[in-house]
Chains A and B, each alone.
Chain A
Amino acid sequence: MRGFNPGRWSEPDYGGILDLHADVAIAGAGPAGVAAADTLARAGLTVALLDAGRHWTPRDFPRTMADALRHLYDGRGPLVAVGSTVIPVTAGRGVGGGSLINSAICFRAPPEVLREWREEAGAELFTDDRLGRIWDALWKRMDIGPDPLAVQGPNNRAFFRGAEALGLAPRWFERNTPGCLGCARCPLGCSAGGKNSVDRAILPEALETGRLGVFANCRVEAVEREGDRVRALLGSILDPETDAPRGALRVRADRFVLAMGAIRTPRFLLGTGLAGPPCGQHLHLHPAAGMLCRYPFPVDPWAGTTQGCYVDRRDEGYMLETVLLGPDQLYAMLPLPLGPELNARLADVAHVGSSGFMIRDEDSTGSVGLNGMRYALGPGDLRRFLAAMRRCSEVFFAAGATEVYPGVMGGVVLREPDDIPRAIHDGLRPHEIFVYASHPQGTARIHPDPRLGTVDPRGRVHGLANLHVVDGSVFPSAAGVNPMMTIMAVATALAEDLAGVG
């Protein structure tokens, strides 16, 4: 490997030219890229890991939401999917990717989803045994488990009690947050250092192999190609403050891996001409919503784990998941008349409770193109979405809420359980409800038939000998649960196959 010192964090010479040569070059240092880099370096290959974002330490994380958007979110804020309504979609940015700003929720993809992927998309590597072994190891390395009840906070505990009262069997999340202090700031990066994001839990050990170099602020933009082989990735070295190009980048390798996420990866493939349709199609999301309420007792929304407990109703197509929101987000979401009424609720913010839900999309359709994202909520998914909204309202009331703000347009406020079916009826249309989404997946999906998928069952881009995709864009459909750990397991399985180990 030439051009840098493997085994160290590498600071590119801004203003210069970075010319690297490694066995494998990986674009994107989020959960997928880091998992792949770790696997490949341990297998004896030299690896150059590149990311357009910065390398963060807890001390450096932003203190305001505006600065977090600027530095830690792709596109400096929510990206937008347009279709049956306008849906904000968030994705992380920086070494650590989404694990820097997510709520650290750790699930394993359900066995029925893995079976669907194997049977319908030929994803033969994703067996229960193989992924189970990988998950077991990751659970240990990232110190994943439930947080102590003491840090869950009154909002999460209230929702838990409400769900219990309805017999919904709530559970506390398992999270990669062994040092969580319950300060509800996950979306701004964990400045307490309590979260084991992948840059803290996995990369240091991978660097100890002496075969990995990590390059922050390096944006991959183009390729050199010869026939069916990629020869080099080309790009820019960015100023970490302004993102302005400060130098040039060229990385030669025998194998190339894309791990830029389900929005950037298909855009790169389409923009460079390395793939055409169906690349970018089959966008899957987990349509979600935050809901608010007012409790007669204080729930101190600044205190607690950002996301604490959940109710698993995948049998009905959704998961209820508590979430704490900042005051700016509460201001944007509360459906009270602007002015004194809304400001009075904020002045009494200690009594504002929050939770949310997400669904696994099944009949929605979406795509990522070079200039935007499209997503239309299907009728079945809309029904499941509204069912989740009703159930979440029921839990709020069971927890003691005196008002529920369900996220239906037009200032809808529920004051008793009987209001629920009247306000959240199946006639609501997508643009009449607040919809948010995270977890983009499926835009370079696995399928043995190049007409139906972008990569083959081993993650190799159809028609190219040495270009692989390992991130959530290879998922044949939505995972149905918060996907970080499934993304890491899938990336590890594909990297093991690439290296001939495992």
Chain B
Amino acid sequence: MRWSRRRFLVAAVLGGVAASVGGFAWLGRPAAGMRALAPLELRVVRALAEALFPAGGPIGVDPLAVGTVEEVDRILAEVFEAEAARAFRYLLRTLEFGTLLSRGLPFTALPPAERLEVLRVWNGKEPLPRRLAMDSLRSVFGMAYFSRPPVLAAIGWRDLCPVR
């Protein structure tokens, strides 16, 4: 069978839809060592952390080395109500499969620079639902990364509050 451009596009769209349906049908059990994130979501969270806070970037603290992924998992398991945690996990899957349609590869398979490009598009002004989704990602990853003591030390943030 000869793959015309049109046939390829149709196959890509159908494949993306099939993968999305499969990915969304069942969220699955937590990955080993995790309390909320399933294996697929864990990969997306790792890829996001690496894209947002690259180890060699201005802050200079490797997000994976300081437990950012584990903290995101803890936030989903302990802080979020069950419904909100489920929605956030769907959001991670939307990001993963969304790039399958737009860039031909799942988010986790994109090179780091291209992942950042995708996130910057999501961070754009419109459409509102996509921007809100990105706000949610920034909020959770910000809470997770900037609660790590090595990160706070790296940016010079001081905790002046003694515990009484």
Contacts and interface: CB of A to CB of B under 8 A. Distances in A.
B32 interface: no
In which size bucket is the chain B interface?
A: 35 or more
B1 interface: no
A426 interface: no
Contact of B146 (A85, A327, A337, A409): A327
B120 A339 contact: yes
A459 to B, nearest CB: 32
Contacts of A328: 139, 142-143, 145-147
B71 interface: yes
Contacts of B125: 409-410, 432
A303 B155 CA distance: 14
A135 to B, nearest CB: 28
A407 interface: no
B58 A343 contact: yes
Contacts of B164: 58-59, 191-193
Nearest to A193: B164
B142 A332 contact: yes
B58 A347 contact: yes
A337 B120 contact: yes
A326 B79 contact: no
B146 A58 contact: no
Contact of B147 (A64, A300, A346, A349): A64
B155 A66 contact: no
Contacts of A329: 142
Contacts of A303: 158, 160
A399 B32 CA distance: 52
Contact of A338 (B80, B120, B144): B120
B152 A327 contact: yes
Given A338-B52, A347-B58, A182 B157 contact: no
Interface in B111-164: 116, 119-120, 123-126, 128, 131-132, 135, 138-139, 142-147, 152, 154-164
Contacts of B123: 337-338
Interface in A345-392: 346-350
A104 interface: no
Given A77-B79, A329-B142, A339 B161 contact: no
A225 interface: no
B37 to A, nearest CB: 15
B91 interface: no
B71 A346 contact: no
A65 B157 CA distance: 15
B63 to A, nearest CB: 11
B116 A338 contact: yes
A344 B60 CA distance: 10
A158 B55 CA distance: 34
A302 B153 CA distance: 12
B59 interface: yes
Interface in A48-66: 58-59, 64-66
A328 B155 CA distance: 12
In which size bucket is the chain A interface?
A: 35 or more
Contacts of B126: 409
A168 interface: no
Contacts of B75: 66
A331 interface: yes
A130 interface: no
A66 B59 contact: no
A331 B155 contact: no
Given A326-B146, A340-B58, A69 B163 contact: no
B125 to A, nearest CB: 4
Contacts of A75: 81
A409 to B, nearest CB: 4
B126 to A, nearest CB: 8
A65 B138 contact: no
Nearest to B148: A64
A278 B34 CA distance: 46
Given A181-B161, A327-B157, A349-B157, A70 B78 contact: yes
B160 A181 contact: yes
Interface string B35-78: 00000000000000001111001111000000000010011001
A349 B155 contact: yes
A485 B107 CA distance: 50
Nearest to A85: B128
A431 interface: yes
A193 B162 CA distance: 9
13 contacts: A65-B143, A70-B78, A76-B84, A181-B160, A185-B159, A327-B152, A328-B147, A332-B135, A339-B57, A339-B116, A343-B53, A410-B125, A431-B128
Interface of B: 51-54, 57-60, 71, 74-75, 78-81, 84, 116, 119-120, 123-126, 128, 131-132, 135, 138-139, 142-147, 152, 154-164
Interface of A: 58-59, 64-67, 69-70, 75-77, 85-86, 181-185, 190-193, 300, 302-303, 326-329, 331-332, 337-340, 343-344, 346-350, 409-410, 431-432
User: Top 3 closest A-B pairs, CB basis?
Assistant: A183-B161, A331-B142, A193-B164
